[in-house]
A and B are shown apart, each in its own frame.
Chain A
């Protein structure tokens, strides 16, 4: 009895859903990424052993190595202007958690620059989250 020859079907890998999977992964990365507001600003953070992981607040104040003050990535003229802007931003935030303000300052900045900024944040009603690194293990 003669058997009819079987046609070997070509092996196909269905790739129709590859685009869907790839875009889902892309959306995942977009949603989980925090775009740094202070990218491009040059500063060396201070170090202390007492630091611990903190949640990044919505508001950020940065003082770079040149002593320039930035609020939410935008340049601010001085601590008085910073206080005015922060007062407006914090006005509608009732809880201490919502009033947290991240302070990033270069380690070499003199007190004549950062002390007025600390005072401005405190007078505006902000809770300061001072950001720094742990000392390097020797």
Chain B
């Protein structure tokens, strides 16, 4: 009795839809990716002891108290603060002379605080923090 030969079919993985799957993945990533550029500024807060040691009578001070902004005890607005800080030419000074102390008290939201820190950093200053409750400087 002769058996018919069975031709072994080679296993075949259909790859026709592979490119469709891949392009769908690409479309998914394109739609879910949000291209963003971070903006901000870099500020290094000095250690407490260093800031206290370097603080002198001439150290510029910015006070934030509730809705009030003061620069060296004078009430100013944000634009005036920027102009005063730029006039100090902080960027061209030695590190210990670039410190600008920021005192806060009362209710101060982060928006106003951020504007103040950005103005100091933009003028080339180094921020030194002074908090009301602790009475310590950072």
* Contact, CB under 8 Å: B22 / A54: no
Q: Is the interface of B mostly helix, strand, loop or mixed?
A: mixed
Of A2-10, A73-81, A85-93, A115-123, the one contacting chain B is: A115-123
Q: Is the interface of A mostly helix, strand, loop or mixed?
A: mixed
Report which residue of B41, B46, B110, B115 has the largest number of chain A beta carbons within 10 angstroms of its beta carbon.
B110
Q: Mark B3-46, 1 if CB is under 8 A from A, else 0.
A: 00000000000010011001101100110011001111111111
Shortest distance from the beta carbon of B111 to any chain A beta carbon, whole Å: 4
Compute how far the CA of A137 lies from the CA of B22 in the bound complex, rounded to whole angstroms.
41
* Contact, CB under 8 Å: A50 / B119: yes
* Contact, CB under 8 Å: A23 / B22: yes
* Contact, CB under 8 Å: B38 / A56: yes
Compute how far the CA of A105 lies from the CA of B40 in the bound complex, rounded to whole angstroms.
12
* Contact, CB under 8 Å: B26 / A22: yes
* Contact, CB under 8 Å: B42 / A127: yes
With A23-B22, A51-B40: A107-B131 Cβ-Cβ less than 8 Å: no
Shortest distance from the beta carbon of A67 to any chain B beta carbon, whole Å: 10
* Contact, CB under 8 Å: A54 / B41: yes
Compute how far the CA of A22 lies from the CA of B86 in the bound complex, rounded to whole angstroms.
53
Q: Which residues of B contact A (CB under 8 A)?
A: 15, 18-19, 22-23, 25-26, 29-30, 33-34, 37-47, 64, 104, 107-111, 113-115, 117-119, 121-122, 129, 131, 138
Q: Which residues of A contact B (CB under 8 A)?
A: 15, 18-19, 21-23, 25-26, 29-30, 33, 36, 46-56, 63, 96, 100, 102, 105-111, 114-115, 118-119, 121-123, 127-134
Q: What are 28 contact pairs spanning A and B, CB under 8 A?
A: A19-B22, A22-B18, A22-B26, A26-B25, A29-B33, A33-B29, A46-B110, A48-B115, A50-B119, A53-B39, A54-B39, A55-B38, A107-B109, A107-B114, A111-B64, A111-B109, A111-B113, A114-B113, A115-B104, A118-B129, A119-B131, A121-B45, A122-B129, A127-B44, A128-B44, A129-B41, A132-B118, A134-B39
